Structure 1
């Protein structure tokens, strides 16, 4: 985490100098959208947020290679936001009642935030500590709500996800909703190398099995006698870990039920005894269980397409000047 923070700090410093052909400081104008400016500071702030998110996925070298792309995406996002807010303000001029609705929603959100921290004084105090200008934040929130209105009017309302599309998606992607069977278990391994002969090892394994069948605790015996991985925690292999266990041995115990103890099983390493902890059967989730998830997936896909088309249409009527 410390390395990531240092890397991000390094990128922030670099961002202050990236794409500054005519920019001398953070107040330099980089883009003008229908007369409204986007500054170097605006771009660096948006790019830093993008780097913070990307840093959770990419290594430092990968971030370095994507630096130009991330900054350019930040610029495009800011331009799109300007365009959408400008378009939304036109809608306010046509529907004055909408302005009152948006203001009420902003007030409601701020009131909720104030109530959460206890008082308006506390709200401003916390905001200042975090370097947040409450008035600026309020203006950003209002723009967010305006964009939501314009999206509802021109994008959301045009998205139709029919039952047929949902069923077709389920049919074509049924593998996405299939779950393989899995199990968790406890394991005891008596290695050949721990005994003078294989016969002696087999006798020790049989004795352990008899003690287990007589009711002795598997976890306790595994901690004491097992020489296998996870012996220190009673030989427990979780559902996720068991998927990496030897396939031949897992196949040998796959028929056992929860709570059952296996016979002694011989391998190239030694003798094994298993106790099944949990079994999850293979299954395919029914259409009824996943149809809402599919509907949301299809809605998101359509939203991305229609938003892109809507912005492309708006950009044709917008004057964008880059510096």
Structure 2
């Protein structure tokens, strides 16, 4: 199942929790030739929610549940899921009512454009996209309704919440200090590594494999000496497990280092590139973000992550304020589940 990353904002996830189970009890059938009698299941201000609306929202998941829920668990699941479906419909009614009060709407064209962006972002065909929806128990009609709800929510957030959010510089600095710096002990070193392994020398063995591994490390080492970003070089070329983390090994005290690492690192100035040293499995070289002379180190420069941190804090504040805003709307509303 490919990710369907379609929420315009993290705050909108408040409305988009996926209901994975539904039961036959949501469908009040009588005899085979009888009519289905609709009834009200909830009141939201001046609107009602009917059983047919509950059935319509739950229907795509019903068939999935029919094959997955053990019969002995079905009564409990029925009661839980029915309440979830009704609650989702209550939230939707409140959202639509508030949007109508503010004269905010979402057109079919906006929904179509959003779906096309989602398909493009996930790099799937439209047919595959629809298959992925089926895998999570949704059809296109329900997905469009959910997406329309998210876009409507985004517009409401923009109107009611976004303009009130300010992220002060001191909050960004506090976040940076907590997540992007590290306090070292007196003899600590924060180390990044890049390495090649003889076992990855295209089927060569012995001295030939070592020679090939050394040739590879020399090319990478030359790039590092030219000032190329060490972490990017590690991610692209290093053959060690730390490559995914940009070669980041974290902090070491001198007594914790392997002899080959100690030979390269001890005395190395922060930001300098070590010489290439032989390791038990191949060849490596290192850089340090700080040495024992520094008690607090920065893993990345503040200016390089400042905007990213601002976005993180903004999203957190947006979700918090949105949830409070919607909670206030809910508390003021007349809601009764029948």
Give me the TM-score of the superposition, normalised by structure 2.
0.49
SS at the partner of 1:298?
helix
User: Is 1:261 aligned to 2:278, yes or no?
Assistant: yes
CA distance in 2, matches of 1:183, 1:70: 51
CA distance in 2, matches of 1:110, 1:123: 12
Alignment counterpart, residue 112 of structure 2, candidates 106, 110, 113? 110
User: Is 1:16 aligned to 2:28, yes or no?
Assistant: no
Aligned partner of 2:327 in structure 1 is 312
Aligned partner of 2:270 in structure 1 is none
Change (3 A) 1:45 1:177: farther
CA distance in 2, matches of 1:153, 1:300: 16
Change (3 A) 1:284 1:237: closer
SS at the partner of 1:316?
helix
**1:184 Cα deviation from its structure 2 partner:** 4.6
Alignment counterpart, residue 252 of structure 1, candidates 252, 256, 259? 259
Aligned partner of 1:238 in structure 2 is 241
Greater radius of gyration (CA): 1
Q: Is the 8 A contact 1:258 1:276 kept in 2?
A: no
Greater helix share, 1 or 2?
Answer: 1
Change (3 A) 1:297 1:114: closer
**1:175 Cα deviation from its structure 2 partner:** 3.8
CA distance in 2, matches of 1:169, 1:156: 21
Aligned partner of 1:275 in structure 2 is 282
SS at the partner of 1:160?
coil
**1:278 Cα deviation from its structure 2 partner:** 5.3
Aligned partner of 1:8 in structure 2 is none
SS at the partner of 1:279?
strand
Aligned residues: 230
In the TM superposition, what are the counterparts of 1:1-323 in structure 2 within 5 Å? 15-16=22-23, 23=26, 25=28, 30-34=41-45, 35-37=47-49, 39=51, 40-41=54-55, 44=58, 76-92=87-103, 99=105, 102-103=106-107, 106-107=108-109, 109-110=111-112, 132-133=139-140, 140-175=146-181, 180-185=190-195, 216-217=211-212, 237-239=240-242, 251-254=258-261, 255-256=263-264, 257=274, 259-261=276-278, 273-277=280-284, 279=286, 281-282=288-289, 284-323=299-338
Contiguous gaps of at least 5 residues in structure 2:
2-18, 30-37, 66-76, 200-205, 215-238, 265-273, 290-297
- State the superposition RMSD in angstroms: 5.3
Change (3 A) 1:78 1:249: same
SS at the partner of 1:107?
helix
SS at the partner of 2:329?
helix
**1:281 Cα deviation from its structure 2 partner:** 3.5
SS at the partner of 1:285?
coil
Q: Deviations along 1:189-211, whole A, 9 cap, x unmatched?
A: 9xxxxxxxxxxxxxxxxxx7xx5
**1:314 Cα deviation from its structure 2 partner:** 0.7
Contiguous gaps of at least 5 residues in structure 1:
2-10, 52-65, 93-97, 190-207, 220-235, 263-272
Q: Deviations along 1:246-281, whole A, 9 cap, x unmatched?
A: x9895212133464325xxxxxxxxxx453245354
Q: Is the 8 A contact 1:156 1:303 kept in 2?
A: yes
Q: Is the 8 A contact 1:46 1:74 kept in 2?
A: no
Q: Is the 8 A contact 1:88 1:150 kept in 2?
A: yes
**1:85 Cα deviation from its structure 2 partner:** 1.8
